[in-house]
């Protein structure tokens, strides 16, 4: 399933393609994130949990706006797990200013 929101869809495609540049292009300057309710350093976390670990993302269900979803996320470190994701976009809807993830 593809994300309904085009910015989130580009974020997921960048993860699945291992494309750091495309991933960075989906994020607003100063974007933030949290994992299991704790704020994390976005660059460090994405490198460790996604890009260096072969992270892959499969959307299972999502809200109609495409900004909240359940997904199967897998990487070479932790294997596959069901995760929840919430995205907050910039006011114009063109970039992700924050994402929150955690085990579902």
Compute φ and ψ for 4, nearest 5 degrees: -70, -35
pTM over 0.85: yes
Q: What angle do CA 26, 27, 28 make, to 5 degrees?
A: 130
Token pair, residue 79, equals 């294997």
pLDDT of residue 2: 80
Domains of the chain: 6-103 (3.10.450.50)
Residues 11-65: pLDDT tens digits?
999 999 999 999 999 999 999 999 999 999 999 999 999 999 999 999 999 999 9
From the list 91, 3, 75, 64, the residue with the least C-alpha distance to 35 is 75
Q: How far separated are the first and last CA of the chain, in Å rounded?
A: 18
The torsion angles phi and psi of 31, rounded to 5 degrees, stand at -55, 150
Give the residues across from 52 on adjacent strands. none
């Amino acid at each position: 399933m593809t994300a309904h929101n085009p910015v989130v869809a580009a974020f997921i495609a960048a993860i699945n393609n291992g494309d750091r540049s495309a991933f960075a292009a989906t994020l607003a300057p100063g974007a933030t994130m949290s994992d299991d309710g704790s704020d994390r350093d976005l660059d460090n976390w994405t490198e460790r949990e996604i890009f260096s670990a072969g992270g892959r993302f499969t959307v299972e269900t999502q809200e109609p706006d495409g900004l909240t979803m359940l997904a199967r996320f897998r990487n070479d470190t932790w294997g596959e797990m069901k995760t929840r994701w919430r995205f907050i976009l910039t006011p114009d809807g063109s970039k992700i200013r924050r994402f929150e993830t955690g085990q579902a």
